[in-house]
Amino acid sequence: MEVTSLTVHELQALIRAGQISPREAVEALGRRIEEVDPLIHGYLSHDLERAVSEAQQVDVRLPLGGVPISIKDVINVKGHPCGCASKILDGYVAPYDATVIAKLRAAGAIPFGRVNMDEFAMGSSTENSAFGPTRNPWDITRIPGGSSGGSAAVVAADEGFAALGSDTGGSIRQPAALCGRVGLKPTYGRVSRYGLVAFASSLDQIGPITKDVRDAAILMNVISGPDKFDSTSLSDQVPNFTANLDQGVKGLKLGLPKEYFIEGIDPEVDKTVRAAVARLEELGAEVFEISLPHTEFALSTYYIIAPAEASANLARFDGVRYGFRAKETNSLLEHYGKTREEGFGPEVKRRIILGTYVLSSGYYDAYYLRAQKVRTLIRQDFAAAFEKVDAIVCPTSPTAAFKLGERTNDPLSMYLADIFTLAANIAGICGVSVPCGFLAREGKQLPVGLQILGQELNEATVLRVAYAYEQNTEWHKAKPPIA
């Protein structure tokens, strides 16, 4: 068996048994990247020598001792580049570790490489990377999803054991679904955002993309918890996420939101997800139809709030303290204007402009304030639903992976790719995507994801449902056709 095809827990077991060394695991990863990454373009960079040297010093008795974890290019790892797949951070080297990285290191993991993403995490296909798109390992003419498309693709192609991504409107769950892997967005505040380059601060969360549900729980055990460097991190106690994974779904109440099975959803995705829900019912869950009445307003709410916050957060890229700076400018305003013109890609510019507009004098109340009020209604929908059910089950994405270039000229159609994921960010709740089948397109098998949404701080329940489903199906064992 190839080392690189192992899950995190399988690799850990072999490392602890002395059957493989962390160094061998890192080197196997290096060879696998050489072999498949020219087709996938999941990595922007990786420093094999540094990873090998870290592997030789690691304490294998630690919870993640010797396990390399691939890192999305939006999370600071001291001494590694952190470019957010943008030209504007050209040459930037992180001077400190994000809290999640400090926690990974303390657990013995090796932060490995920089994986591709949509520039500043803005996008749903990884085509907005300034360094070229990542390709879906199941069909390299298709997108891997986004914005954490690199994270999902490298885990799917076995050129990463597991990865960290970030999720602002679905950026972990949607690419995980489209690449046939597991992706978890924690409750807002469960994981520290310190050292995550901010996109929309009230929506962003870091989370894992993994080969199976147990791995997601293992990573959550390591990265969760309060942090004095992030005042929005929650002080609530972190449960042991692996402890109750195998309790099954017998007696759990699951809600099927009628607003998520709508026109516009691919009929085969609809069928596949309904079959997955039926399987959960066979396993002992009770399924009820529920209503989340403000679902149709989530997209509009998101595309006001997220750009508004982004326009403020990205004001820091001014060509003074770090990154790219335009040449030969004669005034400070010209310096700002040209630096940001040349440094940002089109989608980032669009969102900064949109965000600036909805916050501008005369429009603030009509757009931003109104969206904040609708945000309250969306949160209330979920709160009411969770009085009746333990978790909500629905599709992660309305379609399977689409073709490269298919939606790049139409931002609104690209935004629709996140229609089932972004409400969870707006409400601050948690959710996981787990593989639930395939549909055939042009002779290729394309993965479909089942999304399980849970109440705030209830990651343990969504993981338990996901694990029960996964362990009674074979989808997560399928490997993409890549050489």
Partner 1 sequence: MSSENFDVEYVADLARIKLTPDEIKMFQTQLGLVLEHVAKLNQIDVSQVEPMAHSFPIYNVFREDETRESLEREAALANAPQQAQGLFIVTKVLE
CA proximity to 340, closest of 330, 353, 358: 353
Choice among 70, 86, 124, 147 that is catalytic: 147
Considering 166, 171, 224, 311, which one is annotated as catalytic?
Answer: 171
d(CA 182, CA 151): 11
State the burial class of residue 193 (Cβ atoms within 10 Å of its Cβ: 0-12, 13-18, 19+): buried
Q: Determine the Cα angle at 16 with ends 11 and 18, to 5°.
A: 100
- C-alpha–C-alpha distance, residues 12 and 3, integer Å: 11
Whether 241 and 463 have beta carbons less than 8 Å apart is answered as yes
Amino acid at 47: D
Q: Tell me whether residue 78 or residue 258 sits nearer to partner 1 (CB atom).
A: 78
Is residue 87 among the annotated active site residues?
no
Q: Are 431 and 421 in contact (CB under 8 A)?
A: yes
- Closest approach, Cβ 434 to partner 1, in A, equals 24
Report the relative pairing of strands 391-395 and 253-257 from DSSP bridges: parallel
Nearest-Å Rg of the Cα atoms of the chain is 21
Comparison of 65 and 411: residue with beta carbon closer to partner 1: 411
Q: How far is the CB of 336 from partner 1 (least distance, A)?
A: 4
Q: How far is the CB of 379 from partner 1 (least distance, A)?
A: 6
**Catalytic residue check, 171:** yes
**Pick 25 or 457: Cβ nearer partner 1:** 457
Cβ proximity of 464 and 244 under 8 Å: yes
CB of 77 to partner 1, least distance (A): 14
Q: Is 479 a catalytic residue?
A: no
Q: Are 282 and 250 in contact (CB under 8 A)?
A: no
Of 151 and 295, CB closest to partner 1? 295
Tokens of residue 108, six digits: 């013995």
Cβ proximity to partner 1: between 19 and 330 the closer is 330
Catalytic residue numbers read: 72, 147, 171
